[in-house]
Amino acid sequence: MTDHEHTLERHAELVREIRQHDHRYYVLDDPVISDQQYDALYRELVDLERSHPEWVTSDSPTQRVGAEPRSGLVTVEHVIPMMSLDNTYSEEDLVDFIRRVRGGLPTGAEMTFCLEPKLDGASVELVYEGGRFVQGSTRGDGTHGEDITANMRTVRSLPLSIDHRGPLTLRAEVVIFRQDLARVNAERAERGEPPFANPRNAAAGSLRMLDPRVVAARPLRIFVWQVVEGPTLASSHGESLERIAALGLPTHGRHRICRDVESVLAEIARIDQERRSLPYETDGAVVKVDSFEQQQLLGSTAKFPRWAIAYKFSAERATTIVRAIVVQVGRTGALTPVAQLDPVQLAGTTVSRASLHNAQVLADLDVRVGDHVTIEKAGEIIPQVVAVEYGARVGDPPPFTMPKKCPACDAPVERRGEEVALRCTNPDCPAAVQQAIVYFAKRFAMDIDGLGEALVEQLVDTGLVHDVAELYDLDLPKLVALDRMGNKSAQNALDSITASRARPLARLLTGLGIEHVGPVAAEQLAQAAGSLQKLLGWSPEQAETTVAAINGFGPKMVQSVLDFLFDTRTRGLLEKLRDRHVSTAQPSRPQTAAGGPLAGASFCVTGVLSRPREKVHEQITLAGGQVHDKVKKDTQYLVAGEKVGRSKLETAKKYGARVISETELAAMIRG
């Protein structure tokens, strides 16, 4: 054997060995060599491929580190649509689902169900051709997703080549383990960056990044949960998962076969009990008819497959102790009592604070310092106290009373009309100013990246900024002089502030937080005005006539807009923004045909969606539909993504609004 042949053989041996170690480490969680030994093998492979670049293939372990940043994400079409699952929180609905399945199959047919945890991460599609991974994409709207192939190549648990020569399309979930998220958040805190709220957000956000090299540094993992070509590999869903696991593809390995209602319910209870000990987040159990033949017989509706359902677990709760009760001041001056707690794990995050909402809720719960309390996440997002263990109370601690003066500026507080909330009477309250600026910078408003709470607090405390308009007076020397602000961070913040000048008028009106005017109403108001200059040019009579004519604007909304436009203080703020050339125009929206597919229909959109909410709003409007900021009496449809709060669903039920998914909305638009 020549030296060249020997070196080539060593290259192939290294590739095989590193792939095996990756599988043991990232999939089996059972490494057999040390990190130092692995690094030595990897460096040897890198050196060989540097000397022989012609040996580098797309599935080489060295190609996981990530390519150069891309200019944007490209949309691709899924092999078959990624449908949503119908879901339920009740055992009665689950029993009814099994009854419907039985009714859809031939009389006497034996039914088996495959149950598995519902992973709470980011769903993706994976495509292999000739044994090599060739494409990865996000779920998107179910029919089209964004091409994230370069980012998926950096996920160590995903094999870039498998021993399967036919086409193979898979559905999978990208997750971050809880312990990995804690490490990532600690590193982000050291760099002064905001922590990720939960593993799901961290995973989904990582996948859509434009620089694969950054994605490669994130501890992403993947679990395959569906084989699109399953019937060509096996007779059932459970068997297909076992077949692909044998090919080296990562699966959760926790699927179980059940044959009757009792065993299905028992397995769901087991998953619910064990999910807290799993390294990743789960928010329910998925029940699927196991037989592929029976899946074909049952088919699908336009919205869901008839052979599967997701049983969602109730909001996770935890018990902890109240160590203090403090009062926060929001952007409108409203005072909110907040319980400071002994830190506790809840739905994948460490919770040390929980909202008590207002003085009325505080009084009804009678929460006191030292109490043992139960907390849960409202809509699985905002921690709140839901119960007090009065029997565990030690002694007789005094009830908490709301302050008569603002805790931030010592100004008197008042209750307006029939409002429950107490508000600070000082329009220059620094706490309210800070929160108003943070809200102004939000993604759905002026989208000013890098303007987090810590920086805003410094800007207000040092007197550099007294309102949102003065953000546009900042320069590099002013920012660099602040604590923990280097030249690069300061310049990035300035660049983002400068870019926000060009945001449409609707974004500006949203960011200003006009009472009763959400993003949808702000868009309507901006379309009616056309520009900030014209808005300021309205007389009170002209403003009232124009705003009252906007579809969906009731008397309260009209009065709120008039108060904002003609109050001396807020009008002065608008003029300051105009003088700084901020958001002076609103692009005209394309005209919609009167006979559009959604003509006459009204929608409210809520939950975590596959796209920015404003994009969904635009799609509905262009199809002739109306969009409401909240569910009203005349709202016909509630478009619900993930993590929908129960109050929205209850309001929809109260008013008779039909709850639909993004997939069903897309079907309605297609007619």
SS3 readout for 269-298: HHHHHHHHHCCCCEEEEEEEECEHHHHHHH
75-84, 243-252, 604-613, 628-637: least confident range? 604-613
Question: Is there a contact between 245 and 223 (Cβ–Cβ < 8 Å)?
Answer: no
- What would the mean pLDDT of 253-269 be, rounded to a whole number? 93
Question: What type of residue sits at position 639?
Answer: V
Average pLDDT of the residues in 313-333:
88
Amino acid at 91: E
Question: To the nearest whole percent, how much of the chain has pLDDT over 90?
Answer: 42
* 118 part of the active site: yes
Burial class (CB in 10 A: 0-12, 13-18, 19+), 633: exposed
428 band by pLDDT with thresholds 50, 70 and 90: very high
125 φ/ψ angles, rounded to the nearest 5 degrees: -110, 135
Answer whether residue 396 shows pLDDT above 80: yes
Give the pLDDT confidence of 493-513 residue by residue, as tens digits: 999 999 999 899 999 999 999
Please say if the pLDDT value at position 247 is more than 80: yes
Q: What pLDDT score does 36 carry?
A: 65
Which amino acid, one-letter code, is at 642?
A: E
Whether 213 has a pLDDT exceeding 50, the answer reads yes
Block residue for tokens 């299905």: 264
Mean pLDDT, rounded, for 176-193 = 78
The pLDDT value given to residue 59? 66
Q: Report the SS3 class of residue 616.
A: helix
Q: What is the mean pLDDT of residues 287-304?
A: 88
Q: Where are the alpha helices (DSSP H) in 52-175?
A: 91-104, 149-152
Helices 662-670, 613-622: crossing angle, 10 deg rounding:
20
Residues 6 or more apart whose Cβ sits within 8 Å of residue 474:
459, 464, 465, 494, 497
Inform me whether the pLDDT recorded for 226 exceeds 60: yes
pLDDT at 542: 95
Average pLDDT of span 609-623: 80
Nearest CA to 385 out of 319, 444, 447 is that of 319
Confidence check: pLDDT of 353 > 60: yes
Strand partners, 671: none
Whether the pLDDT of residue 283 is over 70: the answer is: yes
DSSP result, 141-180: TSSEEEB-HHHHTT-TTS-SB-S--S-EEEEEEEE--HHH
Helix axes 555-566 and 540-548, enclosed angle (nearest 10): 150
Q: Are 166 and 232 in contact (CB under 8 A)?
A: yes
Average pLDDT value for residue range 265-286: 89
Average pLDDT of the segment spanning 178-200: 75
| Mean pLDDT, residues 34-59 | 74
**Mapping DSSP to helix (H, G, I), strand (E, B) and coil, where does residue 244 land?**
helix
- pLDDT tens-digit readout, 362-378: 888 999 999 999 988 75
Q: Residue 303, Cα to own-chain centre: how many angstroms?
A: 22
**Percent of the residues in the chain that have a pLDDT greater than 70, as a whole number:** 92
Go through the domains of the chain in sequence order and give each one's CATH number: 3-56 (1.10.287.610), 87-312 (3.30.470.30), 319-414 (2.40.50.140), 427-500 (1.10.150.20), 505-579 (1.10.150.20), 602-670 (3.40.50.10190)
Residue 565 confidence (pLDDT) above 90: yes
Whole-number pLDDT of residue 66: 45
The pLDDT score that the predictor gives to residue 302 is 63
CB 65 within 8 A of CB 216: yes
What does the pLDDT read at residue 398? 92
Alpha carbons within 13 angstroms on the beta-carbon side of residue 195 total: 15
pLDDT at 199: 79
**Residues 6+ away with beta carbon under 8 Å from 131:** 161, 162, 163, 164, 165
The pLDDT of residue 15 is above 70: yes
In a 13 Å sphere around the CA of 593, the CA atoms on its Cβ side amount to: 4
Catalytic residue among 118, 288, 377, 648: 118
Higher pLDDT, 56 or 579: 579
The predicted-structure confidence for 537-553, as pLDDT tens digits, reads as follows 999 999 999 999 987 78
* DSSP assignment letter at 72: -
Most distant pair of Cα atoms in the chain: their distance: 94
pLDDT at residue 68 in the model:
47
- Residue 234 pLDDT more than 70? yes
| pLDDT at residue 563, rounded to an integer | 94
pLDDT band at 30 (very low <50, low <70, confident <90, very high): low
Average pLDDT over residues 555-582: 94
The pLDDT value given to residue 25? 58
Q: Provide the 3-class DSSP secondary structure of residue 540.
A: helix
- Is the model's pLDDT at 65 over the cut of 70? no
Query: Position 509: which residue type?
Result: L
Find tokens 């262009």 and name the residue: 622
Helices (H) and strands (E) in the chain, counts: 25, 22
d(CA 315, CA 311): 13
For the residues 277-281, what does the mean pLDDT come to? Answer: 86
Angstrom distance (rounded) from CA 202 to CA 180: 11
CB 125 within 8 A of CB 82: yes
Q: What is the predicted pLDDT for the residue at 508? A: 95
Work out the end-to-end distance of the chain between its first and last CA atoms, rounded to an integer number of angstroms. Answer: 67
Tens of pLDDT, residue by residue over 458-470, are 999 999 999 999 9
pTM above 0.95?
A: no
Residue range 246-257: mean pLDDT, rounded: 92
Confidence (pLDDT) at 595: 63
- DSSP string of 11-38? HHHHHHHHHHHHIIIIISS---S-HHHH
Closest by Cα among 181, 176, 151, 173 to 224: 173
